[in-house]
């Protein structure tokens, strides 16, 4: 169960508003970024939340990957986005692909400030004889 888990909190995103509001457009961009990173999307769910007294509704894009998952959530009233990329490294190290995917989506959102975190998950354990 060894893998790489990346998160990023994006603040003051300078992208055009449709990336924060349009679930289908954002979802399509996520699928393209997944494929460009060399990962495989096996299922997807895109959802737009209704507007509130605080502003327009945000978007959640979730892509199930053969390697694990990508989740993205937008807060258009704050011009903020959270990203979550997890890849299992079973059968090969996909860490570089995870970083490429995260970087592509950060670039799309054009934040003025980014908080990134990386967590190496699981341990490589020697088999006992």
Residue 88 annotated in active site? yes
Residue 73 annotated as catalytic: yes
Q: Which of 15, 73, 95, 99 is catalytic?
A: 73
- Which helix H or strand E contains 30, and what residues bound it? helix 23-36
Please state, in angstroms and rounded to a whole number, the distance separating the CA atoms of residues 70 and 54. Answer: 27
Q: What are phi and psi of 55, to 5 degrees?
A: 145, -170
Q: Given 5, 30, 68, 94, which residue is catalytic?
A: 68
3 state DSSP class of 125: coil
Q: Which residues 6+ apart lie within 8 Å of 67 measured at CB?
A: 39, 40, 87, 88, 94, 97
Residue 110 backbone phi and psi in degrees, to 5 = 50, 55
Active-site positions read 68, 73, 88
């Amino acid at each position: 169960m060894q893998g790489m888990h990346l998160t990023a909190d994006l603040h003051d995103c300078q992208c055009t508003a449709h990336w924060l509001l349009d679930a289908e457009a954002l979802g399509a961009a996520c699928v393209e970024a997944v494929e460009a990173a060399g990962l495989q999307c096996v299922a997807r769910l895109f959802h737009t939340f209704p507007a509130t007294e605080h502003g327009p509704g945000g978007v959640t894009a979730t892509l199930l990957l053969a390697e694990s998952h990508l989740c993205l959530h937008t807060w258009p009233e704050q011009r903020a986005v959270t990203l979550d990329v997890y890849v299992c490294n079973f059968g090969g190290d996909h860490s570089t692909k995870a970083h490429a995917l995260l970087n592509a989506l950060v670039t799309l959102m054009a934040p003025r400030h980014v908080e990134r975190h990386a967590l190496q998950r699981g341990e490589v354990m020697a088999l006992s004889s």
